[in-house]
Structure 1
Amino acid sequence: MGKFDDLPETRRRGLERMEQVYGFEMTDGTGDFFAYTADHLFADIWNRPGLTDRDRRLLLIGLLAGSHQHDVLTIQIPAAYAAGELDEQQLREIVILLCHYAGWPTGSRVNQIVEETIAQAARQARPGG
C-alpha cells in the first residue's frame, strides 16, 4: 500500500509525479493553487506523451534562466542532475549557451547553481558525506 493510496486517483498521480520530478518527498496540500499544481500540472501535463522528462526539464531550465527565476532553478537543476537527465558536462554546456543567449549575469548565476549542485553531489557521494 502506497502513502497516497487513500487520495483520489488524480491527486495520487500528481503527488507521485511531483516526487519523481523534484526528487524529494511530497505531502498533500490544500487550496486551489496546490490543487492545480498537483492535479493538473503534474498529474496531467508532466504525464503527457510527446516529450521526455529531460525535454521538459531543458525547456523549463531555459525558460527559468531567461526570466531570471533563479530560485526555481535551485530546485530544477539539482533534480535534473539527481535524476540522471543531465550530467555535469551537459549542465556546464547549458551555462555556456545561456551566457550567450540570456546574458552573462544570467549565465553566471546558473553556473553558480550548476557548480553548487555538482559539488553537493560529490560531497554526498563521499563516505561519511
Structure 2
Amino acid sequence: MTTVDTGSRRRGLKVMDEVYGTGFTDTLPSEYTPMLEKTVEHLFGEIWNRPGLSVRDRRLLVVGATAALGRADLIEIQVRGALANRELSAEELREAVLQLQYYVGWGNGTQVNNGVEAALRAHEKEDKR
C-alpha cells in the first residue's frame, strides 16, 4: 500500500458520496489498493472536485465515454448516481440512450440501454420502500 494523504482522501470520499449518493463510500473496502487510492484521492478529490463543470456535466461526459465501451454495469452506476441526485429524469436518460445509440454503435447502445433500464428499475423499487 502507498502513503495516504488524508486530506485528499477525505475530500475524495465526500465528493464520491456527492456523485453517487450518500453512503456510497460505505461500500468501499477498508483496505485500499493503489488503484482505489488514486481513484478516491485524485479522480474524486481533485478532478471531479474542480470548478468549471457541474457534477451533472461531468456525469454526462462519463456516460458518453462509458457508452463507447459498451459497459452496462458502469452505465448503471452513473445512472444510479444521476437519479439519486435528481440530475436526470427517466425521460432524459432514455433520450440520451437514443442519442448515444447512433454514435457508439448498436451493440454498445444496447448495453447503454440495459444499464439505464436496470438503474431505473432499481430506483423505482427504492422509491416504493
- Separation in 1, partners of 2:20, 2:94: 20
Match of 1:17 in 2: 15
- What's the % identity of the aligned pairs? 40
- Separation in 2, partners of 1:68, 1:106: 4
Q: Does 1:124 align with 2:122?
A: no
Q: TM-score, normalised by structure 1?
A: 0.83
Q: Does 1:54 align with 2:56?
A: yes
Kindly state the Cα deviation for residue 74 of structure 1 after the two structures are TM-superposed: 2.1
Higher relative contact order (CA 8 A, sep 6+): 2
- Separation in 2, partners of 1:73, 1:93: 14
Unaligned runs of 5+ in 2: none
Match of 2:94 in 1: 92
Unaligned runs of 5+ in 1: 1-6
- Separation in 2, partners of 1:98, 1:9: 37
Structure with the bigger percentage of helix: 2
Q: Render the CA deviation track for 1:2-59: whole Å, top value 9, x for unaligned.
A: xxxxx82211111111122122233554232222111111111111010000010000
How many aligned positions are there? Answer: 121
- Runs of 4+ aligned residues of structure 1 deviating over 6 Å after TM superposition are none
Q: TM-score, normalised by structure 2?
A: 0.83
The CA RMSD measured in Å over matched residues stands at: 1.7
With 100-109 and 49-58 compared, the bigger mean Cα shift is at: 100-109
Higher-Rg structure is 1
Corresponding residue SS for 2:51: coil
Kindly state the Cα deviation for residue 69 of structure 1 after the two structures are TM-superposed: 2.8
Amino acid at match of 1:13: R
